[in-house]
Amino acid sequence: MNLESMISDRARAVEASGIREVFRRRADMVDPIDFSIGQPDFAVPEVMKRAAIRAIEENKHGYTLTQGVLPLIKKIAAHLERDIGWSASRCESSMIVTTGTSGALHIAMLALLNPGDEIIFGDPYFVAYPHMARLCGAKPVFCDTYPDFRMTASRVEPLITSRTKALLLNSPGNPSGAVASARECAELLELCRSRGVLLISDEIYDEFCYADALEPTALAGGAKRCPSPCRVKGSEDAILLIRGFGKTYGCTGWRMGYTVGPKPLIEQMLKMQQYSFVCAPTPMQWSCLEAFDVDMRPQVEAYAKKRDLVVERLGPLTELQRPGGAFYAFVPVPRRVAASSREFFEKALTKNILVVPGGVFSERDTHFRLSFATSDATLERGLEALARLLRG
């Protein structure tokens, strides 16, 4: 049997994640300074751990409804009504608790995209986006956002064709940390509505938005929040919102997310979930009931200080854009230092430093991603070594 000849064109069209290659290289290193992992370094809140243990001890191990357990759906819906102004009752009937945000994105694209359809992403992008589209036979279209990483309506509009089904906005963004302004969000939504394109808002880092990127909202007496197109009044019919728990609460391996949007689309996504993930992990669903009562502001403020340190140390050495959220910096590689981010990555390895080459996230190979989700001591030590490299 020639298994090599049996592999599908679909599988051949998808490259292995470049981040996994970095992880493979890490296995050969002794005590590396690791700036590669996009994972919080703080512990999962104790109340969520206890709830997960309690769910296991109470034998909550079986399948749930495909949509998710009702108490969690109600809790999420109530949170969204407070946070973005979408009706809680409407959210309850148009929501799926998903196997992480990646699970939500996967079933959304399966439900939306036909072969030959197009979906627009900002470049740089989260590594999985274009491959998820290709798995559906669709074409990823890249919106060049360099050098400021802002996905604006003026940059997107020339890319929309008769084949465009969706625009995917990731704010705060991975790998750049860029946060779209309220005006940019509103203009993107207006453009999508005028051209009959679905706006998908991937807000996995919604709580990791730093004070200088927050803007006043019409909710809660004008409280400052992370900008989102979902905050535009009446946006429920035009946006698929995707959020999750992993980054905010440090439980990335629990694989917990949720999606809310137009009911006709959610109904089709439910079918995709039934025949793929079935349901999100049951004990973890019960644990996430506690999440919305946990104050994560101390952790976010601590990460804002890490962000400031990165900008302070590396900003004078290269044209670094100040991240407004998430926990990444997308750092330009000066030409005097290396011809590409891949070359810089290899140089950093010789100093026992792990970063991720920018070509993993982009059609360009000019930057590298630095995750500052690490201890202050490691960050200090690593930034000193990176600064020496960037000085050439």
* Tokens representing residue 107 in the block: 């079933």
pLDDT of residue 9: 85
* Tokens representing residue 64 in the block: 């749930």
Query: Rounded to 10 degrees, what is the CA torsion of 276, 103, 249, 383?
Result: 130
Pairwise CA distance, residues 148 & 165, whole Å: 26
Last residue of a domain, one of 241, 269, 293: 293
Report the mean per-residue pLDDT for the chain: 95
Residues 17 and 53 in one domain: no
Which residues fall within 8 angstroms of residue 301, CB to CB, at 6 or more apart?
none
Kindly tell me if the per-residue pLDDT of 18 is higher than 70.
no
pLDDT in tens, 61-113: 999 999 999 999 999 999 999 999 999 999 999 999 999 999 999 999 999 99
Pairwise CA distance, residues 8 & 148, whole Å: 38
Residues 120 and 210 in one domain: yes
High-pLDDT (> 70) share of the chain, %: 98
- Report, as an integer, the average pLDDT of 339-354: 94
Residues 181 and 145 in one domain: yes
* CB 292, CB 77: distance < 8 Å: no
Query: Tell me, what CATH number does 254's domain have?
Result: 3.40.640.10
Last residue of a domain, one of 244, 273, 293: 293
Residues 202 and 328 in one domain: no
Which residues fall within 8 angstroms of residue 299, CB to CB, at 6 or more apart?
40, 42, 250
Kindly tell me if the per-residue pLDDT of 21 is higher than 80.
no
Domains identified in the chain, total number: 2
pLDDT in tens, 285-328: 999 999 999 999 999 999 999 999 999 999 999 999 999 999 99
Residues 80 and 93 in one domain: yes
Last residue of a domain, one of 293, 317, 347: 293
Pairwise CA distance, residues 168 & 160, whole Å: 13
**Structural domain boundaries, residue 228:** 46-293
Q: Assign 22 a pLDDT band (cuts: 50, 70, 90).
A: confident
Kindly tell me if the per-residue pLDDT of 206 is higher than 80.
yes
DSSP element (H, E) containing 156: helix 153-156
pLDDT of residue 193: 97
- DSSP, residue by residue, 348-384: HHHTTEE-EEGGGTSS--SEEEEE--S-HHHHHHHHH
Which among 313, 355, 363, 321 has a CA at the least distance from the CA of 338?
355
Compute the residue count for the chain.
392
| Cα distances (angstroms) measured from residue 137 to each of 10, 134, 269, 362 | 8, 5, 17, 20
Residues 156 and 59 in one domain: yes
Residues 166 and 147 in one domain: yes
Kindly tell me if the per-residue pLDDT of 26 is higher than 90.
no
pLDDT in tens, 132-171: 999 999 999 999 999 999 999 999 999 999 999 999 999 9
Which residues fall within 8 angstroms of residue 35, CB to CB, at 6 or more apart?
353, 354, 355, 370, 371, 372, 374, 382
Burial zone of 319 (CB within 10 Å; 0-12 exposed, 13-18 middle, 19+ buried): exposed
Kindly tell me if the per-residue pLDDT of 7 is higher than 80.
yes
pLDDT in tens, 239-271: 999 999 999 999 999 999 999 999 999 999 999
Which among 119, 171, 117, 120 has a CA at the least distance from the CA of 149?
171
Q: Are strands 215-216 and 164-170 parallel, antiparallel or unpaired?
A: unpaired
Determine how many CB atoms are found less than 10 A away from the CB of residue 225. Answer: 19
pLDDT in tens, 176-201: 999 999 999 999 999 999 999 999 99
Residues 202 and 58 in one domain: yes
Tell whether the torsion through CA atoms of 284, 285, 286 and 292 is positive or negative.
Answer: positive
Query: Tell me, what CATH number does 381's domain have?
Result: 3.90.1150.10
Pairwise CA distance, residues 365 & 174, whole Å: 16
pLDDT of residue 77: 98
Please name every residue paired with 120 in a beta bridge, in sequence order, or none if there are none: 141, 167
Residues 330 and 216 in one domain: no
- Report, as an integer, the average pLDDT of 327-334: 97
pLDDT of residue 34: 92
pTM of the model: 0.95
Which residues fall within 8 angstroms of residue 219, CB to CB, at 6 or more apart?
82, 83, 84, 85, 225, 231
Residues 303 and 276 in one domain: no
Rg, the chain, Cα only: 21
pLDDT of residue 32: 85
Which residues fall within 8 angstroms of residue 241, CB to CB, at 6 or more apart?
80, 84, 201, 203, 228, 230, 259, 260, 261
Residues 363 and 214 in one domain: no
Residues 10 and 156 in one domain: no
DSSP element (H, E) containing 56: helix 46-57
